[in-house]
Amino acid sequence: MKISTKGRYALRMLIDLAEHGSGRFVSLKEISDRQNISKKYLEQIIQIFNKTDVLRANRGAQGGYMLSRSPEKYTVGEILRLTEGSLSPVDCVDQDPIMCERSINCPTLPVWRGLAKVVNEYLDGITLQDLVDQHKERGAYDYMI
């Protein structure tokens, strides 16, 4: 499995909102400047989230975006499934019932199911707040003048 640029940038954008939002709307320009991601690309990512309850938007001079929930209510798995679709290593794992004619005798199906389970449990066990906290612990906010 490989996470696309869209998925990685979406995660960075939401972490940025968690770090810098604090109850205020943040412009895409601010996020773009801090994350070194083009504003145009962020606009494409926003389109994915507009159909969900992930973000709140505000237009106008004080416009921008903010998280609609607190950072500990978002998981990395949720965000990546929105941007990437399935996180499963093979298509058949997402099917119920599995449409593959070989599934009954497939020797690799348990491997793919196990891998999907581990990946999803791992990513669903990490919240945006966890990532913000880890970022702070690594000294991302230690400024020297």
Question: What is the per-residue pLDDT for 140?
Answer: 56
Summarised one tens digit per residue, pLDDT across range 56-84 is 999 888 889 999 999 999 999 999 999 99
Question: What is the per-residue pLDDT for 21?
Answer: 76
Q: Which residues of the chain carry a pLDDT beneath 70?
A: 140-145
CB 45 within 8 A of CB 13: yes
Residue burial 43-71, b: 16+ Cβ < 10 Å; e: rest: eebbebbeeeebbeeeeeeeebbbbeeeb
The first and second tokens of residue 32, run together, are 């773009």
SS3 content of the chain, % helix, strand, coil (to 5): 55, 10, 35
Q: Pick the closest to residue 55 from 35, 33, 79 (CA basis).
A: 79
Question: What is the per-residue pLDDT for 73?
Answer: 96
Q: List, in order of start, the domains of the chain with CATH numbers.
A: 5-137 (1.10.10.10)
Question: What is the per-residue pLDDT for 130?
Answer: 96
